[in-house]
Structure 1
Amino acid sequence: MITQNTFAAQWFSTSLLLLSLTLPLPAFAQQTVSAVSQPVEEVKRVLDPSEYTLGSGDRLRIDIFQAKDYSGEYSVVADGTVTLPLIGNTKVKGLTIAQTTNLISRKYAEYLKVPVVTVILSKPRPLKIAISGEIDRPGSYEVALKEDLQYPSVSDLMELAGGVTTTADVRQVQIRRVISGKNQVLTANLWDFIQQGNQEEDLTLQDGDSIYVPTVDQIDVTETPMLASANFGIQPVDSLNVAVVGEVYRPGTHKIEARRDTENARPELPRLSEAITQAGGIKPLADIRNVEVRRLTRTGTQQVISVNLWELLQSGDTNKDVVLQKGDTIIIPKAEKLETSEVGTLSAASFAPKTIRVNVIGEVKKPGALDVPPNTPLNNAILAAGGFDMERADHQTVDLIRLNPDGTVIKQKIRIDLSKDISDANNPVLRNEDVIVVERSRQTAASDGLQTILKPIGSFFSIFRFFGF
């Protein structure tokens, strides 16, 4: 025969069992601690349902056996209390479900002979979590639990906050948490999570947690593509402003628009070469081996990323084409000396000017300034100017006048053969602002009067005098 006390005890045990089955299960298994600010016996990186503590916004289902009038749904209000029939306001903030069950049972024992109380968390409150450091949108966030009642992870909140910046140290993300009344710091290595898929590093968050994403000591540009591929990593933007100064044709602040392969595709991350192109391209004496990208971190310090774009041209490794961040300053220094053998490679680079300007004057059919592609050979420029004036031009030689970046001027006499391929001797590659002078033939010069002799290139005499030719 089962007495009332025996039945009550069995019902209470059954209620606790149902309670443990009703509460949400953790997302991941128990994890170990990478680093803590103070030693603790054991710190769980996932939330055990039995350890859930109540707070403002939680909704509870409270059932009292054989007392339907006192049973129902109750919310924990701002002061951390629930208002219950008979016993009134009861403070439950900071208590676990089991502690709340015991407290309500004791209070109802003053009115009921054997109160059997069951408390279930029917709707947990949104988690309040703060995030700061190298994150796109730092601040405080309210995060509702997922439909399956699993708690959000560190990567979930980082994604919600817009992803990390390019200077984030994802190997040492800190989660600051109060555990047993003590402030503790957990450390998550999300790089290991990205590389190895180690979910133990993607910690489950609790209400009141604070996440800090520190600044990396030195940016490794080869890791940027991997960071960009993560859902919580570097996120593309539609446009950003950067400053480009030094040896470019249009120094200043430039707006870099995002590129898309298709209309609905994810925007590509803006890169260094795009900014240099936007700034008009590099000048002839640009030192692309020692380009600097200066970047402000969230801590207010400045990081300098040294970039060797010559290696990018030689290897084709796009990882060396640095991903830009809003507010970057790009400095293109001036080279002391430029190797002649490198001119052609630089002219063909994506960040070189789209066209160069050369002047063809004298005995051609259409003398004047021409805009031609980089690496255009001399023969092509003559043909673009209409070709030789067959009756008056010297078909054998032309003068090539070049203003060097260091301010010096050279004049070179070139023997012309329009059938020749590119060569320094007969058909050199032209540079920006080169001048080609096509002289008269000896017969034409002898038959012309002085006025006629001076007329075709008279406008260019001032340049000759300036150069000392």
Structure 2
Amino acid sequence: MAAQPLGPFDEPALSAPDGPSSVAAPDSTLNPSANSTSGNSTPDSAPNSAPNSATLQPLPRLLLAPTSTSAGSVLDPTLQPPIDGYQLDTGDRLQVEIFDVPEFSNRIYLVLVDGTISVPWIGSVRARGLTPQQLASALSQAYRPFVKTPIITVNVLTPRPVRIGVSGEVNRPGSYAIEVSNRDVAPNQLPLQWPDVTRAIVAAGGITPLADIRNIRLRRSDPSGTPQDQTLNLWQLLESGDLSQNILLRDGDMLMIPKASTFSSEEVSRVARASFAPETIGVNVVGEVKAPGLIKLPPNATLNQAVLAAGGFLRPRAVSSQVDLIRINPDGSATARRIPIDLQAGLNEETNPLLLNNDIVVINTNGVTRITDFLRVLLSPVDNLSNLRRLLAPSVPDFQ
């Protein structure tokens, strides 16, 4: 029975121990005369009779198949790395072996920038866009003039970095190349570091306190190139450990983290402790505080926490009833708000809002202090002139 095509968010079963791999099986047995003398065969050594149709012998599954899921759900990413159907491209490290041909034992090939690999006897072979199974079949066809009914195995030893786009409520939105690490795993084990959603968010600097982690949108193209969206709920990951929401990513995936419309102090505190939240944010507190400057705060910090972390108001100079909050927008513009402050208030948008990385809190000077400072500046030139005259007095003649 023909295999059913997979949807763009399905995580198919793995077919090889160390990465994407496949074996191109022979039409019949190996030709014993193909390597009987020098180890290199010639086109004349090919069989005269027409070979049987080639058959593919799938490797045994290494993992249990997942249980059935409802429509729109995501298969368990810990059981289903997105390797089956993996398409080769520049940067993949491959192992290509031909059974019973010693010259090809443990040969490692790198997919070059033009999307090809260079193999002995054949030269350049296109690998870009092919699965390991398709490449094994192509190599099998190419080697038939030299080796009778070759059995060829293609393994991906080190997949290329996965390119992911991350936008929305993260500290550093943009495009990221995340490496797939399988260098430290034991033989016949799966790579343990295939990029997932939380790893991509961490690469983008972590979420902001304004992120809506219940409605993260993942956009992935299906085999025909049509983009399809799926909504992920990382709150379920925090609340109940639902790993199915932390889906494994594929090359070209895009993540969009929207802005939440409502906040609660309990949820903000829990999200700030998540592994995909930044450890700290930087807030500049300037003006009439005891220790102005850049303050490192937890990612769920509020306006009150920033003022207190800077030593509190510098009395009697400071205006302690309101502060200015300046925020740099993603487009480079800035917005300023004058916020009435209440150091006893809890988290709320009116008097004690959440802060973002690179926010600026300005503590203004009260009216009496401004008048005093103005008079000091106004009178300072007179003082300076008197000091100058006093310094120059010995050398200036007295005309009186």
TM-score, normalised with respect to structure 2: 0.61
Q: Which residue of 1 aligns with 2:101?
A: 67
Matched, 1:162 2:205: yes
Match of 1:98 in 2: 133
* Alpha-carbon distance change, 258 to 49 in structure 1, aligned in 2, over 3 angstroms: closer
**Pairing 1:177–2:220 present:** yes
Counterpart amino acid of residue 131 in structure 2: T
**3-state DSSP class of the match of 1:86?**
coil
Q: CA deviation at 1:236?
A: 0.9
Alpha-carbon distance in structure 2 between the residues aligned to 1:90 and 1:48: 25
> Structure 2: how far apart are the matches of 1:213 and 1:307?
27
Aligned equivalent of 1:228:
272
Q: Give distance in 2, aligned partners of 1:208 and 1:26.
A: 28
Partners of 1:92 and 1:143 lie apart in 2 by 21
Greater percentage in helix:
1
| Within-5 A mapping of 1:379-418 | none
Change (3 A) 1:167 1:269: closer
Q: 1:15-164 maps to which residues of 2 (within 5 A)? A: 16-17=58-59, 21=62, 47-71=81-105, 72-147=107-182, 148-150=190-192, 151-164=194-207
Give the 3 Å change call, closer, same or farther, for CA 331–195 of structure 1 in structure 2.
Answer: farther
Residues 134 and 215 of structure 1 are in contact (CA less than 8 Å); yes or no, is this contact kept in structure 2? yes
Letter matched to residue 143 of structure 1? I
Consecutive unaligned residues of structure 1, counting only runs of 5 or more, are: 36-41, 245-249, 260-266, 334-469
Task: Name the CA distance, whole Å, in 1 between partners of 2:359 and 2:304.
Answer: 13
Q: Deviations over 1:95-125 (max 9, x none)?
A: 1121111111112123332122122222222
Q: Retained in 2: the 8 A contact 1:55–1:80?
A: yes
Aligned counterparts of 1:142 and 1:27: Cα–Cα separation in 2? 30
Could you say if the C-alpha distance between residues 208 and 33 of structure 1 is closer, same or farther in structure 2, counting changes exceeding 3 Å? Answer: farther
Change over 3 Å in CA distance of 1:86–1:296 after alignment to 2: same
Q: Partners in 2 of 1:30 and 1:93 — Cα distance?
A: 33
Which structure 2 residues correspond to residues 176-325 of structure 1 after superposition, within 5 A? 176-180=219-223, 181-237=225-281, 239-242=282-285, 250=288, 254-258=292-296, 270-277=301-308, 278=310, 280=313, 295=327, 297-298=329-330, 313=344, 322-325=353-356
C-alpha deviations, 1:324-343, integer Å up to 9, x for none? 2234366899xxxxxxxxxx
Counterpart residue type for residue 54 of structure 1: L
CA 1:6 to 1:285, structure 2 compared with 1: closer, same or farther past 3 Å? closer
* CA gap 1:201/1:90 in 2 versus in 1, 3 angstroms: same
Task: Return the offset for 1:274.
Answer: 3.8
Correspondences of 1:326-341 after superposition (within 5 Å): 326-328=357-359
* 3-state secondary structure, aligned to 2:138: helix
Distance 1:75 1:132 in 2: 32
- Residues 243, 328 of structure 1: 8 Å contact kept: no
Aligned residues: 303
Retained in 2: the 8 A contact 1:167–1:216?
Answer: yes
Distance 1:236 1:212, change over 3 A: same
Which deviates more from structure 2 when the two are superposed, residues 42-51 or residues 109-118? 42-51
Change in CA separation of 1:32 and 1:213 when aligned onto 2, cut-off 3 Å: farther
Cα distance in 2 for residues equivalent to 1:6 and 1:256: 73
**What stretches of structure 2 of length at least 5 have no aligned partner?**
1-25, 31-50, 183-189, 365-400
Q: 1:309 touches 1:321 (CA, 8 Å); kept in 2?
A: yes
Structure 2 distance, partners of 1:208, 1:254, is: 44
What is the alpha-carbon distance in structure 2 between the residues aligned to residue 295 and residue 67 of structure 1? Answer: 66
Q: Which amino acid aligns with 1:273?
A: N
Q: Using the TM superposition, give the Cα deviation of residue 78 of structure 1 relative to its aligned residue in structure 2, in angstroms.
A: 1.1
- Read off the aligned partner of 1:119 and give its amino acid letter: V
Structure 2 match to 1:463: none
What amino acid is aligned across from residue 165 of structure 1 in structure 2? T
DSSP 3-state at the match of 1:141: strand
Shift of 1:136: 1.4
Q: Which moved more, 1:151-160 or 1:132-141?
A: 132-141
Offset at residue 189 of structure 1 (A): 1.3
Return closer, same or farther for 1:304/1:56 CA change in 2, 3 Å cut-off. Answer: same
TM-score when scaled to structure 1? Answer: 0.53
